[in-house]
Amino acid sequence: MSSPSARPATKAVIPVAGMGTRFLPATKAVPKELLPVVDRPALAYIVEEAARAGLPEVLMVTGRNKGAIEDFFDRTPELEAALEKKGDADRLAEVRASTDVAQVYFVRQGEARGLGHAVLQAAAFVGDEPFAVLLGDDLIDERDHLLEQMLAVQAEHGGSVIALLDVGRENIDKYGAVAVEPRPDAAAASGDEVVLVTGLVEKPPVDEAPSSLAIIGRYVLEPQIFAVLRETAPGRGDEIQLTDALATLVERGRPVHGVVFSGRRYDTGDRLDYLKAVIRLASERDDLGPPLRAWLHEFVADLPAEGASSS
Ligand code: UTP
């Protein structure tokens, strides 16, 4: 086991350069990371999560057609002046908070050559420290402190840490999958299980998957990942896969731990999960929740039985 890293992670990288094909045609003109979850872009929740976890410096890896993301995190003096003039203090505070939450930087990926390639664009920004990667379409409920737990595991054990979710064997071919060994001595503060990752494979056929544990969109990576990414050939889908680079780190004996998440997570790049996120988060809000819940009860009572299960 390597010695824990002397320096804790202070920077977050959010790749947002993907094409968002699952959400076409909406994503022809609007980046999927800006689709509103209630009244805030999915990406705003993710930047807030990074800041809450103690990572106030955020680099977004963007691409063509993603200019609106830079606009969202820029100041809007005209809008702020108009709200001030109208005396709309609440909305003014919300508009300001969305830009003040973190120091946001941007770099371009150039070509969408895969998540590993997107992460590689952050090398100069990150330097020689561990850092977090949060996928721009993967929303973790703010009551579940996944990233904080992962940062704590990284600070204690060094190496890299990935977030895992049991998606069931029948769904594993849509994800990166892992082989793991238990680490009963390393439970996370929340009680989420911590495991040692012994192998990784991107989107394996169901009958070849090493487990039903899928990699989800939070990583805390050691800076050694950049050297490995530089020599990682395009893999699945002809893209440079972060999963392949992590597999190389494991093969070279570097520690990679997994935190098996048991909380609430929404893939906002997936239409059904996106709808679930909007409904759940809106129904729990003080302002919208009471009328929405009342309407949902009526709506559900009138629905024909479908036999579909909910999650
Ligand atoms: P996804 O595979 O979910 O993104 O990548 P995608 O390609 O945009 O989605 P679909 O499948 O076509 O609908 C996970 C994350 O990695 C980023 C995406 O923006 C997303 O946040 N990504 C992916 C990049 O930044 N660059 C890439 O080359 C690929």
Q: Is the CB of 137 under 6 A from ligand 1?
A: yes
What is d(CA 183, CA 159) in angstroms, rounded to the nearest whole number? 15
Q: Is 176 in the pocket of ligand 1 (CB under 6 A)?
A: no
Q: Tell me, what amino acid is at 148?
A: E
The residue among 153, 149, 138, 163 whose CA lies nearest residue 246 is 163
Distance, in Å, from the CA atom of 95 to the CA atom of 98, rounded to the nearest integer, reads 5
115: amino acid identity, one letter: L
3-state secondary structure of 155: helix
Per-residue DSSP letters for 73-124? TS--HHHHHHHHHHT-HHHHHHHHHHHHTSEEEEEE-SS---HHHHHHTTHH
d(CA 240, CA 229): 8
Ligand 1 near 135 CB (within 6 A) = yes
Distance 82 CA to ligand 1 centre (A): 36
Structure tokens that stand for 121 in this block: 């664009």
Quick check: CB of 20 below 6 Å from ligand 1?
yes
User: Ligand 1: which residue has its CA nearest to atom 21?
Assistant: 136
Among 23, 137, 241, the mutation site with the greatest number of ligand 1 atoms within 8 A of its Cβ is 137
Distance 16 CA to ligand 1 centre (A): 7
Question: Please, which pLDDT band fits residue 184 given cuts at 50, 70 and 90?
Answer: low
Cβ 264 under 6 angstroms from ligand 1: no
Give the residue whose CA is nearest to atom 10 of ligand 1: 20
What is the CA 229 to chain-centroid distance, rounded? 19
Task: Write out the two tokens for 82.
Answer: 């108009």
SS3 annotation, 287-298 = CCHHHHHHHHHH
Q: Determine if ligand 1 sits within 6 Å of the CB of residue 62.
A: no
Q: Is the pLDDT of residue 38 over 50?
A: yes
Q: Which residue has the higher pLDDT, 1 or 86?
A: 86
CA dihedral 243, 248, 251, 257 (to 10 degrees): -40
Backbone angles phi, psi at 210, to 5 degrees: -70, -20
Task: Report d(CA 152, CA 158) in Å as an integer.
Answer: 10
Query: What's the pTM?
Result: 0.93
Q: Is the CB of 242 under 6 A from ligand 1?
A: no
Q: What is the whole-number distance in angstroms between the Cα of residue 242 and the centre of ligand 1?
A: 12
State which ligand 1 atom lies nearest to the alpha carbon of 267: 3
Per-residue pLDDT, 1:
43
> pLDDT at position 2, please?
46
Concatenated DSSP letters of 208-220: G-S-SEEEEEEEE
In tens, the pLDDT along 64-121 reads 888 899 999 988 888 899 998 999 988 898 888 888 888 999 999 999 999 999 999 9
Phi/psi for 75 (5° steps) reads -70, 155
Full set of structural domains in the chain with CATH: 8-140 (3.90.550.10), 144-263 (3.90.550.10)
Q: Whose CA is nearest to atom 7 of ligand 1?
A: 18
In a mutational test of the pocket of ligand 1, which residue from 19, 65, 202, 271 has the highest number of ligand atoms less than 8 Å from its CB? 19
Kindly state the average pLDDT of the residues 150-171.
95
CA nearest to 164, candidates 235, 54, 237, 243: 243
Give 223-269 pLDDT, tens digit per residue: 999 999 999 999 999 999 999 999 999 999 999 999 999 999 999 99
Average pLDDT over residues 5-22: 88
Tell the residue nearest (CA) to atom 1 of ligand 1.
18
Q: Is the pLDDT of residue 196 over 60?
A: yes
Q: Which amino acid is residue 181, in one-letter code? A: E
The SS3 assignment for 181 reads strand
Average pLDDT, the chain: 91
